[in-house]
A and B are shown apart, each in its own frame.
Chain A
């Protein structure tokens, strides 16, 4: 009896050691049709912006699914999927193959607009001095021959957003500050809130966030309210100009929404990109590709949606490519003029 029990235990142990496929299940099939289906269905269940962008996802399935079969090549599948995803016109919708292909929905405008800004021109023509910080995307300085500080963000993320407190200690004696969010790739909301907190003139309700949580395109959890509010030991409440362009994206737009709630801020430039939602985690396909999408819905306090629309400036001004090639940043010059016209700051 005893030996039987011991043998039985060893047999169970040996069996358990070799049955992972039975327990875990087979790998998902790596064929063009299954890759298409996995991606389409994931978007169908979790993408947050079908309704606010008026996207008929079933109609896109009907259009693109028949183009995929078992003989579809890798190149063809890439073209089919990216063409389908381009309809979403959403910078948080991405597809990559980890080799040489990377797709971002609706990014063609960024390639145009990024040439309408030249950071080197700011340094050479418009700055008395300009300093880098340990936060790679953040630098600051002083506008040439003016009592105006200048801060540029290439992104809205970094090791510690409270660096803004140190920068403002350097710039606080200037009569105004220009915050430049042009050619900004975005970042994270927490960082944006903390940066804005250094300029806050009070607490303001700025937007709500809801996360998609069900199979229907309008299934969302309860809205969470977000506020701009003072953070840090010092708030700069003298006149501030915020410069944006179409290449002011995502986290930079959250920073814009925060900043626009302050009475001492004037928003100048062009309408932002219109990609407010957080991006989902990366998702993986059996063919080695990965993708992501927007899984949240941001709405203004009055319920207005700005996804795909962007945040309009108080004063519209936009550089042309030729302006930059000629060595003129019209947007920055207009901001400097405005500070003089409105506040007599020079």
Chain B
């Protein structure tokens, strides 16, 4: 049941590679600041917040005539997670995301091409208090619909807005309050751990990713990028998990 995710990931990658002739590729590295708000009732009844650095690495393949976009990127952050009132409840938060998508141009609104497609996403949030005195996590494998619209700003700059909404998700959560025998048994098997979940419907898991990227050309191959991204996810199966994060990143994109 979990293999469709892998198959789709392979299809996405091959789509990007097969369409490589005639277009161009870009590698993008960016760093920035992330503000996270979350509540994980499995971990605590309190609200938590996180502020700190985030790192992102991306690969984009623009097809010939800009008719398609293949995009794959990873984000990572590891920071303190704080409550509003107590320093002694400070925990740590690790977030990792991998998204891959393939979009085709479906329309043009004036001078703004509109892209539509889909992709695979893997998100992990891991919360830990004092070396597992308390811990929780939420892992999602999802297939999403994605749309992007590009607004050219003169010859050397453009603004891209993208939105992704998952439609099928595999959700992995720990038991309430710590270990159970199954988690214990799989402790040394990370692949089993991160896939040992349940498929959930939109009734019990909702998610939205939105980004606004401003890209300006610095030289023939090098561009500067400034990105705002918003992420939301809410899981109500079992113990509620709600997360809301804003991030601003800046970086460089190298075209080849």
Contact = CB atoms under 8 A, between A and B. Distances in A.
B109 A1 contact: yes
A24 to B, nearest CB: 5
Contact of A9 (B175, B176, B178, B212): B212
Q: Which of B43, B161, B176 has the most CB of A within 10 A?
A: B176
A288 B86 contact: yes
Contacts of B84: 27
A23 B37 contact: yes
Interface stretch (A197-205, A241-249, A278-286): A278-286
Contacts of A28: 45-46
Q: Which of B110, B129, B180 has the most CB of A within 10 A?
A: B180
Interface string B219-256: 00000000010101000000000101010000000000
B146 to A, nearest CB: 16
Contacts of A13: 212, 228, 230
Interface bin, chain A: 35 or more
Contacts of A209: 181
Contact of B110 (A1, A282, A286): A1
Interface string B21-57: 0000000000000000111000111110100000000
A211 interface: yes
Interface in B114-171: 129-130, 132-136, 149, 151, 159, 161
Interface string B171-209: 000011111110010000000000000000000000000
A38 interface: yes
A280 B179 CA distance: 8
B159 to A, nearest CB: 7
B181 to A, nearest CB: 4
A38 B45 contact: yes
A24 B177 contact: no
A9 B134 contact: no
Contacts of A6: 151, 159
B154 to A, nearest CB: 13
Interface in A259-308: 278-286, 288, 290, 295-296
A279 B230 CA distance: 37
A59 interface: no
Contacts of A281: 43, 129, 132-136, 177-178
B134 A282 contact: yes
Given A23-B242, A98-B88, A278 B45 contact: no
A211 B134 contact: no
Given A2-B112, A2-B151, A281-B135, A27 B46 contact: yes
A120 interface: no
Interface in A1-19: 1-2, 5-6, 9-10, 12-13, 16-17, 19
B88 A25 contact: no
Contacts, number: 104
Contacts of A5: 109, 112, 149, 151
Contact of A24 (B47, B110, B112, B130): B47
A20 interface: yes
Contacts of A296: 180
Q: Which of A20, A213, A279, A283 has the most CB of B within 10 A?
A: A20
Given A25-B39, A28-B46, A284-B46, A278 B244 contact: no
A9 B133 contact: no
A93 B242 CA distance: 29
A221 B181 contact: yes
Contacts of B3: none
Given A2-B112, A281-B133, A25 B47 contact: yes
A282 B39 CA distance: 16
B161 A284 contact: no
Contacts of B47: 24-27
Given A20-B37, A224-B181, A282 B244 contact: no
Given A6-B151, A278-B179, A280-B178, A24 B212 contact: no
A46 interface: yes
A10 B159 CA distance: 11
Interface string A14-58: 001101100111111010000000100000001000000000000
A122 B37 CA distance: 54
Contacts of B242: 23-25
Interface of B: 37-39, 43-47, 49, 83-86, 88-89, 109-112, 129-130, 132-136, 149, 151, 159, 161, 175-181, 184, 210, 212, 228, 230, 232, 242, 244, 246
Given A2-B110, A19-B244, A281-B132, 14 more contacts: A1-B109, A5-B109, A5-B112, A12-B210, A13-B230, A24-B242, A25-B242, A26-B47, A28-B46, A98-B86, A278-B178, A283-B134, A284-B89, A288-B85
Identify the 4 closest CB pairs spanning chains A and B, nearest first.
Answer: A281-B134, A280-B177, A281-B178, A224-B181
Interface of A: 1-2, 5-6, 9-10, 12-13, 16-17, 19-20, 23-28, 30, 38, 46, 98, 190, 209, 211, 213, 221, 224, 278-286, 288, 290, 295-296
11 contacts: A10-B212, A16-B246, A20-B244, A24-B39, A24-B244, A27-B46, A98-B86, A190-B184, A224-B181, A281-B43, A284-B45
